[in-house]
Each structure stands twice: as structure tokens, then as C-alpha cells.
Amino acid sequence: MHIVVPSSSNTFQKSWIASGRILFLIAISGLGAIGLVVLSALWAGTESDAAALDRQRQLVNARLREQVDQVAHVIGQFGNGYLARVYPASRSAGVSSSLDTVLTGAAGSAISETAMSAFGYDQAFVVDDKAQLSMLTDAKTEKRYRWMKPLFLPLLKDSRLTASQSPTFTDRMPSSLESRRASAVRPNHALANLMRLEGRPTIVGIVAINEAPEGQPQPTRQFLIVVRFLDGAALDELSRQQGLNGARFARTADADENEVAFQIDATANGEPIGFIVWRPDLPGSRVIGRLMPALSIAALVIAVLFSVLLVRLRSSLGELKRSELHARQLALHDVLTDLPNRALFAMRFEECLAETRYSTERSAVALLDLDRFKAVNDTFGHAAGDELIRMAAERIRSVLRPGDTLARLGGDEFALLLRDIRDDDQVLLSICDAIVAELGRPFPLLRGEAVARVGGSIGLTIVPDAGRTADDLMRYADVALYEAKMGGRGQWRVYSPSMDGGRNARDILKNELREVLAKGTASSADSAQTGSGSTRPDFGSLEVYYQTVHRAEGGYAASGAEALVRWRHSQRGLLTPASFIPAAEEGGLIDALGFWVLREACKAACKWPVETFVAVNVSPAQLRRPNFAEEVFTVLEETGLPPSRLELELTESSLIEDNSDVYTVLKTLRSRGIQISLDDFGTGFSCLSHLVRFDIDRIKIDRSFVSQLGAKANGAAIIGAIVTLSRNLGISTTAEGVETEYQRDFLTALGCTDLQGYFFSKPVPLRELDCFAKSEGGAGPRTIASGAIA
């Protein structure tokens, strides 16, 4: 804490220093002796506990490898025995003249039952080299296998199953106990792997159980797959053998304070499967527990002596200290929030700049504004505004570090000074994200009679990276704050030199877009006067692109397409929405632009098959228009598109703001049969009540989850949960970002109703939309002048 001491307090300062030296010597002597004893005991106990815990982990690791080894060995012997005895006997008895049918049907089921009953496996399957079942089984087991099949396919393709070289055994274990793998290859080419199956740690073994005699053609290869789960009886046995108290399996490292977690990794890719959690036997902790009473008594005696001296000193100087603090408070702090005011912030900022000139320390200065404070003042009065300022200050202060400075500059303007950010800006990331999140939560005002949703924007600059004078740094922070507000508010930006020209470049782009729209409007007006054309605005360089959506079954036929906007700029080339939509929103152009895209999309969809739909994105600004629904109905009447073939895509942020008005608009649209979809579900607020309250027809699963399929287990788990929720609510699901055949098949198996992505089609102009070409009759897109927007 930075303190400015008035000259009249010199006597207080000298007295405090003299007394402080005595207290310091006493405290250092006593605490030093106790500290050495405590540290020695703690060190010895910790080392003992670490050695005991390391031994237990090594035993668990060795036992897991033995179990994987055992599965590989047993099924290898089983496979050898079958190939050496049963298989030749079947052939000599004339059971079948075709090797391909020896192990199908009842024979495959018998092998499976033998593996489970004789060797105690939880599940066994006989499959061919394409992972198709080669055995008779009930519907429940067949359904269970379908879920397991995608995980078995990589094992069947493992080159070690078909290798002709001499028998080998592979056991590669990393030095770190946090990453363990085990695999085994046996003389009969048996393979055993650790993996997660049905959310449980599992040993899966596989062995070939047929082969052609020498000189005969090779039949369809068939394999026995056995499954042993490790979280049931196997874990209980491991607990008894290794003396693991209260051993249990957990999907996450949710060990209690007195437990430890041992991570189990998959053999194939090292991906975490889960954790074995138990209460370790820690001899060092027991010893420390016995010493602590004596150490506590000694510390208490020293603390009492120290407290007596401190109380006597404070009683004589307390009144002077209170007087000094009160004077400091009045001079350097804001009365409303008790935060440092502009003067104190300037002092600390200058002190920070002086220190950074002679050190490598990096700091940051930030300016913060509440986004909708004026509306709160105007609506609820200044009393509510003051209450909001106090609550906002408390929320910001709650996420700052002890050494950071938060000051109120006036009104709803705050300043931050963040010292010591040497960890490569991770401190900035966490603090700024936390502040934005706190200010984004509702503020209950006037004893609950009013609720305000304001949010906050932050602009910051680095000291000394961006400059060394206070005026320069504050100006840089102000420029960054402007960028944050222009970027949509409720966010933060770090200053960069490009921002100085960014404001001008943004204004230029906004004016160019306004000219394009104005030119199109003027052209339409001229056409209306001459009677030679439509009165609808002609926006010149705008064009609509389309990306098809495909059904997840029935041959993946196209079920519709999503309309996307592009602007073919004369100097900058083809621009995506991210380049000019913010400028359109800032300049009040988004409504005209959005309805032009809606009209063009509806016009195009009229020429598509009747069972298809067209999806159009709608911005939050459009939804806030009171006559939005009537304008949509007008477009449908003009183009002749049935309402049931139009799907409006919303973001979850559209439902957060002013949701009572949005609810009325969406209810009106739904009453006429227009479909409503929720875009990028799971990446924003993801409030489940929105699905029911706003009567959503479709959920679009974000591409970030689809991209994790095959790489991270979490991706499949999240998608599965979304699909299950949608199915139970009767809501369709579209998976975005499908780029591979594996993703397509996996999403289809999970139950997605529709798929969209580059695997099927990139966004293309209407004239290149091949799947609807027959119905379109070769019609191309409606372009105006030289541009395209989609």
C-alpha cells in the first residue's frame, strides 16, 4: 500500500520506528526458533510421505501392467488352443467346407460364452476384420456392441495382429507416474490395450481365431475381442492385494483432502481414462501430528508476549494514527466508493513509471467504463446510479490482487494500475476476463425493486512497452477502450499502434458501405420512376452465398442451405461478414443489410425442392425492432416462400438482452410456422431454459466440438449430451464444421439429424449450388454492380 505521510506526523513516525525495532527483534528471535523446528519436522514428514506414496503408485502401476499382460497371455493361449485343436477338428468333421463360415452364428456365440464363463471376462465378441459381429446375440448385446464398435476398429487395424515376425512383447512406460501405458503382443499375435469404454477403465484384448492351412486360400479373418472392466471386482481385488484403503474409480481427479489420485492412461494415444483414488498410508503425517501440540504451545507463548507489547504500543499511538488516516482518506479517496481518487492514482502511476525506468518490471494501466450507466441514471434516478457505482466498484475490487490499484476518476469511469505482470500477460487475461464477467451479471438496485444489466469495457496499455509518459499511456488506454466499445462492448482490448489508424479505417469502411447501400436505394428509386424495375433497394456489390445442410441418414441428401453474406470490395476483394458487419451495426445499416439478405434467400429458396429450407442469420439489433416480425411476413408474401421453409438463426446473446421483447417477437414468428434455430450452442451462455421458453426448433452444434472428435474424448461426450437433450425435447440438431468422413459417420451414430461443413460443400454462389441445380433451372445469384455479400 502506498502511503503519503504529512509533515506534522514526524513525531508519530519516529515513535513508531523505535517501538517497531524492539518488536521486530523479539518477533524474529521467537519466530525464527519455532520456524526452524517446524520446518524441520515438516520436511522430514513430507519426505517420508512422498516415499510411501511413490511406492504405492509404483505397485499400482505394476499391477495394472500385469493385468494387461495377463489378458494378452490368456487370450493368446485361448487363440492357440482353438487354432490347434477346435478349428482343425471342425474341419476334419466336415462341419463346413468354407473357412469363412466356421466361426459364424452359433459357433461364434459359443466362443464368446466360453471366454466369459471360463476366463471371467465381462464381455466377449467374435467379429470379422471389418468389425462386424460373427456370432448370434440378443438385441441388447448387439446394441451395446454398436456403441463400442468405433473404438474397436483401430485395434483391428493394428499391424501387430497380422505381423509375421517372431513373437514380441512391448512395454514402454514413461518415467513420470502421471503418464502410464501398457500393451502386449503375444506369440499368436494377441493384443491387449487399456482404454475407456462406456466411460469406464477397460482392458480390451483381441486375438485372431482362424487361419488358412498351408497351401489353402486365406479366409475372412475373424477375431475374438474380450472386455474386462477395471472399476468393479477387478478394482476391489487390486485394493486388497496392494492395501489401498477405500480405493475407488473416478472420471476426474476429485480426490478429497486425505486421498490421492492415480491417473490411468489409454495405451493407444496416452489419453487420460480416469483415476484410481484411495486413502494413502502416510507415516510422516502421523509423526507431524504428534509434534504439533508441543509446537503450538510454544508458538502460543511467543504470540502472547508479542501481543502484550503490541497492545501497549498501539494504545498510546492509536488516536494519532486514526487522525492521520482520516486526513489521508479525505484527501486521496473517493467519498462514494472509498476508492483512490484521481490524485492518488496519478501519484501511484508516476511512482510506477519512475520504478520501471530502472527495472525490468512490466505493469499495465487500464481505463474502464460501464457500458449502459447513463440509461440506469435516466431510468431509475441518481440514487440508483450511485448504488450501481458502489456495487460495480466492489465487484471489480473483489477480483484484483492485493498490490493492484483501482481508482474512480469520476462518473462511471474507473482506472486500474496492475503491477508485476511478468508471467507473459496471463495475469492480465485472468483479471480482465473476471472483471468483464462480474460487470456482466445483473445488478439488483433499490432494494430489489429494479434490476440493471450494464456490462463494462476495458482498454489497457503495457508499461513501458507502449510509452513512458503518463499522458501517452493514458491516451493509449483511451484508444484501446474505444476499440473495445466499438467491438461490441462487454470486452477488453490491449493497445497496439495499429489502433491509432484503426478508428479512421473503420470510419472509411462504414462510409463506403453506406455509399453502396445508398447507391442501391437511389437506383431502385430511379427504376420506380421510369417504371422499368422493382422498387426494392439495389445494394450494388452484395451477393448471397449458400452452404448446404444434409440429412444425417438416407444417403445424406441436402435438406436445405444456410445463407451467408459477402461484399466484393473494388479494392479489398471479397470480404467476409467479420470485416464489415461491425461497421454496419455501428452505422445503423444492419437492418437494411439483413433484410436484403433475407429477401434474396427467400427468393432463391422458392426454386428449390419443396421439402428443403433456407436458414438466415438474424442479428440482436434486428430482433429488437418492434416491427421485425411484420417485416419478415412481408418478405415471405413478396417472394411466395411458405413460412415453414424459412429458418431464422439466432445467437444466445440475442436471448439474453431484453428477453421479454424478444420472446414476444419469436412467439409471433412461430405462430406463422417460421422455424427458429439456436446457433453455436454450447459456446455462449447456454441457458437450458431458453430451449423451452423460446420454443427452439433446432440446435446447431458448434464446430469447435466437432473438431475434437477423434482427438479428445470430451468432444464426443459434449455432443452426445447435446443430442440426448435435444432428442428428449423433440428438437432437431445440426452439427457444423463436418470436414471428414469419420466425423460424418460418428455424428450420424450419435443421433444428429443434420450435418453441415466443408466435407459436403463450401459456401458457394447460387449459380454453383449443384444439389439444387435441377430445381433452380440454372438461375444464378442476383448481384448488383460489382459486389457480393453472403
177-218, pLDDT tens digit by residue? Answer: 333 343 433 445 688 888 888 778 888 888 888 765 555 566
Please check whether residues 575 and 486 belong to one and the same domain. no
Please check whether residues 517 and 567 belong to one and the same domain. yes
Please check whether residues 473 and 569 belong to one and the same domain. no
Residue range 626-637: mean pLDDT, rounded: 91
Three-state DSSP state, 778? coil
Give the per-residue pLDDT at 83: 63
In a domain, 39, yes or no: no
With b for 16 or more beta-carbon neighbours within 10 A and e for fewer, the 163-184 pattern comes to: eeeeeeeeeeeeeeeeebbbbb
Three-state DSSP state, 553? coil
All cell numbers assigned to 150: 468405433
Three-state DSSP state, 703? helix
In a domain, 25, yes or no: no
Residue finishing a domain among 237, 256, 279? 279
What predicted TM-score, i.e. pTM, was given to this entire model? 0.43
In a domain, 285, yes or no: no
Which of 319, 356, 326 has the alpha carbon at shortest distance from 463?
356
- Name the helix (H) or strand (E) containing 600: helix 590-605
Neighbours of 422 (CB within 10 A): 12
Most distant pair of Cα atoms in the chain: their distance = 114
Give the per-residue pLDDT at 738: 92
CATH number of the domain where residue 471 is located: 3.30.70.270
Helices of type H across 204-282: 233-242
In a domain, 680, yes or no: yes
Please check whether residues 474 and 537 belong to one and the same domain. no
Question: How many domains does one find in the chain?
Answer: 3
All cell numbers assigned to 479: 484508444
Task: Using the predicted structure, report yes or no on whether residue 655 has a pLDDT greater than 50.
Answer: yes
Task: Using the predicted structure, report yes or no on whether residue 224 has a pLDDT greater than 70.
Answer: yes
Please check whether residues 708 and 647 belong to one and the same domain. yes
Task: Using the predicted structure, report yes or no on whether residue 172 has a pLDDT greater than 80.
Answer: no
DSSP state of 769: -
Please check whether residues 127 and 241 belong to one and the same domain. yes
Three-state DSSP state, 478? helix
All cell numbers assigned to 732: 432437431
Q: How confident is the model at residue 525 (pLDDT cuts 50, 70, 90)?
A: very low
- Compute the Cα dihedral for 123, 129, 130, 133 and give only its sign: negative
In a domain, 27, yes or no: no
Q: Give phi and psi for 688, each to the nearest 5.
A: -65, -25
Residue finishing a domain among 452, 467, 496? 496
**Higher local confidence (pLDDT), 489 or 727:** 727
Instruction: Name the least confident of 22-31, 92-101, 164-173.
Output: 164-173
Three-state DSSP state, 755? strand
Which of 753, 312, 767, 785 has the alpha carbon at shortest distance from 553?
753
In a domain, 31, yes or no: no
* Dihedral-angle region of residue 118 (phi above 0 means left; psi in -120 to 50 means alpha; beta otherwise): alpha
Determine the length of the chain. 790
Contact of 568 with 585, CB cutoff 8 Å? no
Please check whether residues 658 and 565 belong to one and the same domain. yes
Residue finishing a domain among 241, 260, 279? 279
- What is the rounded radius of gyration, in angstroms, for the C-alpha atoms of the chain? 36
Neighbours of 36 (CB within 10 A): 10
Name beta bridge partners: 461.
365
Please check whether residues 482 and 534 belong to one and the same domain. no
Q: Give phi and psi for 307, each to the nearest 5.
A: -65, -40
DSSP state of 542: E
The Cα–Cα gap between 102 and 215 comes to 18
Look at strands 363-370 and 413-418 and give their pairing: antiparallel
Task: Using the predicted structure, report yes or no on whether residue 19 has a pLDDT greater than 60.
Answer: no
In a domain, 187, yes or no: yes
Give the per-residue pLDDT at 311: 76
**Higher local confidence (pLDDT), 352 or 503:** 352
Which of 285-299, 483-497, 529-543 shows the highest mean pLDDT?
483-497
The Cα–Cα gap between 390 and 382 comes to 12
Which of 261, 58, 274 has the alpha carbon at shortest distance from 177?
58
Please check whether residues 371 and 423 belong to one and the same domain. yes
CA dihedral 352, 358, 360, 361 (to 10 degrees): -20
In a domain, 320, yes or no: no
Contact of 633 with 674, CB cutoff 8 Å? no
Which of 136, 145, 82 has the alpha carbon at shortest distance from 113?
136
Mean pLDDT of the chain: 76
The Cα–Cα gap between 768 and 649 comes to 23
CA distances from 162 to 152, 209, 274, 284 (A): 16, 12, 30, 51
Please check whether residues 462 and 560 belong to one and the same domain. no
Please check whether residues 476 and 531 belong to one and the same domain. no
Please check whether residues 735 and 687 belong to one and the same domain. yes
What would the pLDDT profile of 723-769 be if each residue is shown by its tens digit?
988 888 889 999 999 999 999 999 999 899 999 999 999 999 988 88
CATH number of the domain where residue 599 is located: 3.20.20.450
DSSP 616-654: EE--HHHHTSTTHHHHHHHHHHHHT--GGGEEEEE-HHH
Q: How confident is the model at residue 624 (pLDDT cuts 50, 70, 90)?
A: confident
Task: Using the predicted structure, report yes or no on whether residue 398 has a pLDDT greater than 90.
Answer: yes
Which of 146-160, 396-410, 437-451 shows the highest mean pLDDT?
396-410
Residue with cell 436458414: 615
* Structural domain harbouring 394: 342-496
- Compute the Cα dihedral for 304, 309, 310, 312 and give only its sign: positive
Name beta bridge partners: 649.
617, 677
Neighbours of 348 (CB within 10 A): 19
Residue range 406-412: mean pLDDT, rounded: 90
Residue range 264-280: mean pLDDT, rounded: 81
Residue range 551-571: mean pLDDT, rounded: 87
Which of 708, 699, 698, 703 has the alpha carbon at shortest distance from 675?
698
